[in-house]
Structure 1
């Protein structure tokens, strides 16, 4: 197996495991997720087992389902992408003085 094939296999495995991880975090079954995505009942199970991969449109629908961006899908260092997105949406509308205050609070919490 050459380097390109290894990278492709790694990518497929990552996608399978990441979907499973996100699904388990939300407490949703493969069956329920499949149906909520408008797919047949074994759609997610076939991805998780490695029998299939989502199309690009399917991948984007999965990201939308989890309310995350494709970048957040691949960045596993973000522990709670949904919570982080909610926080960002909430603070985006605050005035500059409040944003500066929140930044100071976060920096103080980070020191502890």
Structure 2
């Protein structure tokens, strides 16, 4: 993990949420270019602001720093939906996942 990770991760999460840099800056209570400055490498968020960014995306700092988490909110939504399925449906989902993994 390097210094570019934070800016790339914010961009990844922002794009997954479908919001602009301007909108995110505004939502966080900052000037128009706040997120752009982070994304372009001109600045980094403070620790306090990083926690605010995690809250904004409704993720934990651990999820933010886990590169395997791609879109943590999507995974949370899928997992919570699994709780509502029958055992037979879960087995079907499991076989679909195995098939998709095999296809690569």
Q: TM-score, normalised by structure 2?
A: 0.72
Match of residue 77, structure 2, among 73, 86, 92:
86
| Count of residues paired in the alignment | 103
Q: C-alpha separation between the residues in 1 aligned to 2:37 and 2:102?
A: 44
Q: C-alpha separation between the residues in 2 aligned to 1:58 and 1:43?
A: 11
- Cα deviation, residue 84, structure 1: 2.5
Moved over 6 A (4+): 109-112
What are the ranges of 5 or more consecutive residues in structure 2 without an aligned counterpart?
84-92
Cα pair 2:58 2:73 within 8 Å, conserved: yes
- Cα deviation, residue 85, structure 1: 2.5
Cα pair 2:13 2:71 within 8 Å, conserved: no
What are the ranges of 5 or more consecutive residues in structure 1 without an aligned counterpart?
1-6, 93-101
Relative CO higher for 1 or 2, CA cutoff 8 Å, sep ≥ 6?
Answer: 2
Q: In the TM superposition, what whole-angstrom CA distance separates every residue of 1:65-88 from its partner, at most 9, and x where no partner exists?
A: 111111111112123310222355
Report the RMSD for the aligned CA atoms in angstroms. 2.7
Match of residue 60, structure 1, among 51, 65, 70:
51
Structure number with greater Rg is 1
Partner of 1:34: 25
Q: TM-score, normalised by structure 1?
A: 0.68
